[in-house]
């Protein structure tokens, strides 16, 4: 038998990849499982976006290989979006690299900058892919603690007590997934100061800034940030285009050029029609965000009721596409999620999949209709845990 690569020894299959197979099996047995775990937007993109891709597929050159750097119109659209919404000036030719989703960008960045044995600061709790990709490139994940007491922001006193000499990259993610915590400009300034002191590349993964968040921020708004920070962004959540796989990494031209060396060897360019659709998405006005957020507010109110029924507590002053809730003391996350799945036919996310600091928490998605959320609430109230 052909042996797997050693780099997979510390890498597990993504939680949702494995768990969704189990959910599918239960549904095949006739179980009426409701999934409120996944952050895959159920709402449609704008009609103008749909029409743009439909029109694009009839053009003569639409089905050929495309530029590794995306069409100029897309890069200009990203630059305008950043200028209008974040007050960040980007050179479309050198400081923007369109990606087939920001998740793929995590791999591109890691391969571009990490050597075997380099260390990477990863939030706990945080997006599991940061640690998985770090392991895949044979670097060393170093978890840094986030907790409710510090509003899920880095504790710099604690970080400074560590040996940071081999740390190459620090992953941050604000608005934060899974907790919804939001960083301020002052928080970003602290991060930039810390990164410059220790010569650590900061990567802000920023796909949630327009979801239930009144003040969208980019870390690149901070003076001097381009010297030490880059940012991933995505159309998945903001414009309901998750399956389209279109995002971007933006920042200093030399850093972007380095990432391109990896990307250009991993794909052959993004489909032309998707790029044209993305161009139209970036032209949408603030009315688009307002309309989306009105829907999410109504859904969030129902999720709050669900967590009330489970005797959980939560912060109403956070944003993002999820609600992060604290269980009553002594109840373990996976115990209650398994009980909900097997006895109430409700699939919800245990906080533990995001790290040890997620123990005692649950995460529910807002990517579910009000009708479905009402049914979840009814199931929980009818047979209360």
How confident is the model over 178-193, as pLDDT tens digits?
Answer: 999 999 999 999 999 9
3-state secondary structure labels for all residues of 117-133: CCEEEEEECCCHHHHHH
Predicted pLDDT of residue 39: 84
> Is 50 exceeded by the pLDDT of residue 292?
yes
Share of the chain above pLDDT 70, in %: 98
Q: How would you classify residue 382: left for phi > 0, otherwise alpha for psi between -120 and 50, otherwise beta?
A: alpha
pLDDT digits (tens, 9 = 90+) for 357-380: 999 999 999 999 999 999 999 998
- The closest alpha carbon to 105, from 260, 249, 291, 237, belongs to 249
Task: Summarize pLDDT for 314-362 with one digit per residue, the tens.
Answer: 999 888 899 999 999 999 998 999 999 888 999 999 999 999 999 999 9
pLDDT higher than 60, residue 169:
yes
Q: ∠128-132-134 over CA atoms, to 5°? A: 120
Which pTM does this prediction carry?
A: 0.92
Is 50 exceeded by the pLDDT of residue 221?
yes
Residue 383's pLDDT is 53
pLDDT at 284: 95
What is the distance between the alpha carbons of residues 188 and 225, in angstroms, rounded to a whole number? 9
**Contact residues for 355 (Cβ-Cβ < 8 A; gap 6+):** 123, 124, 125, 126, 143
Q: What per-residue confidence (pLDDT) applies to 29?
A: 85
What integer pLDDT is reported at residue 385 of this predicted model? Answer: 44
Q: Which residue has the tokens 């990494």?
A: 249
Q: Does the pLDDT of residue 214 top 80, yes or no? A: yes
Rounded-to-integer distance, Cα 219 and Cα 226, Å: 9
Instruction: Identify the residue with better confidence: 24 or 54.
Output: 54
129-158 pLDDT, tens per residue?
Answer: 999 999 999 999 999 999 999 999 999 999
Average pLDDT over residues 39-57: 93
Query: Is 80 exceeded by the pLDDT of residue 16?
Result: no
Rounded to whole angstroms, the Cα distance separating 98 from 244 reads 13
8 A C-beta contact, residue 39 and residue 237:
yes
Give residue-wise pLDDT tens across range 65-101.
Answer: 888 889 999 999 999 999 999 999 999 999 999 999 8
Q: For strand 361-365 and strand 349-350, is the pairing parallel, antiparallel, or unpaired?
A: antiparallel
**What average pLDDT score do residues 261-280 get?**
92
Backbone angles phi, psi at 363, to 5 degrees: -130, 130
For residue 207, pLDDT beyond 60? yes
Going by pLDDT thresholds of 50, 70 and 90, the confidence category of residue 4 is: confident
Q: With bands split at pLDDT 50, 70 and 90, how would you rate the model's confidence at 14? A: low
């Amino acid at each position: 038998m052909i042996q797997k690569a050693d780099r997979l020894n510390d890498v597990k299959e993504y939680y949702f990849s494995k768990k969704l197979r189990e959910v599918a099996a239960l549904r095949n047995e006739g179980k009426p499982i409701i999934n409120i775990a996944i952050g895959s937007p159920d709402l449609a993109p704008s009609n103008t976006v749909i029409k743009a891709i439909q029109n694009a597929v009839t053009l003569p050159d639409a089905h050929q290989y495309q530029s590794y750097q995306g069409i100029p119109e897309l890069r200009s659209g990203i630059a305008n979006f950043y200028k209008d919404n974040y007050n960040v000036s980007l050179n479309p030719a050198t400081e923007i690299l369109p990606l087939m989703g920001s998740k793929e960008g995590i791999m591109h960045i890691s391969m571009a900058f990490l050597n075997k044995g380099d260390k990477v600061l990863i939030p706990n709790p945080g997006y599991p892919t940061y640690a998985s990709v770090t392991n895949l490139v044979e670097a060393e994940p170093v978890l840094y603690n986030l907790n409710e007491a510090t509003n899920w922001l880095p504790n710099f006193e604690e970080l400074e007590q560590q040996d940071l000499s081999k740390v190459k990259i620090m992953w941050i993610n604000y608005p934060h997934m899974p907790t919804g915590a939001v960083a301020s400009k002052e928080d970003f300034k602290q991060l930039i100061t810390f990164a410059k002191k220790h010569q650590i590349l900061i990567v802000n993964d920023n796909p949630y800034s327009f979801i239930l968040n009144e003040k969208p921020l980019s870390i690149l708004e901070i003076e001097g940030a381009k010297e030490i920070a880059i940012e991933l962004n995505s159309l998945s959540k903001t414009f309901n285009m998750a399956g389209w796989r279109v995002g971007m990494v933006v920042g200093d031209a030399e850093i972007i050029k380095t990432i391109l060396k990896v990307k250009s060897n991993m794909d052959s360019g993004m489909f032309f029609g998707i790029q044209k659709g993305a161009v139209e998405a970036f032209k949408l006005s603030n009315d688009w965000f307002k309309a989306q957020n009105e829907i999410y507010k109504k859904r969030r109110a129902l999720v709050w009721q669900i967590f009330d029924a489970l005797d959980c507590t939560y912060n109403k002053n956070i944003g993002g596409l999820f609600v992060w809730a604290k269980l009553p003391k002594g109840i373990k996350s996976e115990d209650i999620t398994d009980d909900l799945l097997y006895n109430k036919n409700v699939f919800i996310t245990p906080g533990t999949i995001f790290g040890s600091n997620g123990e005692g928490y649950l995460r529910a998605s807002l990517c579910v209709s009000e009708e479905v959320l009402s049914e979840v609430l009814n199931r929980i109230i009818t047979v209360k845990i």
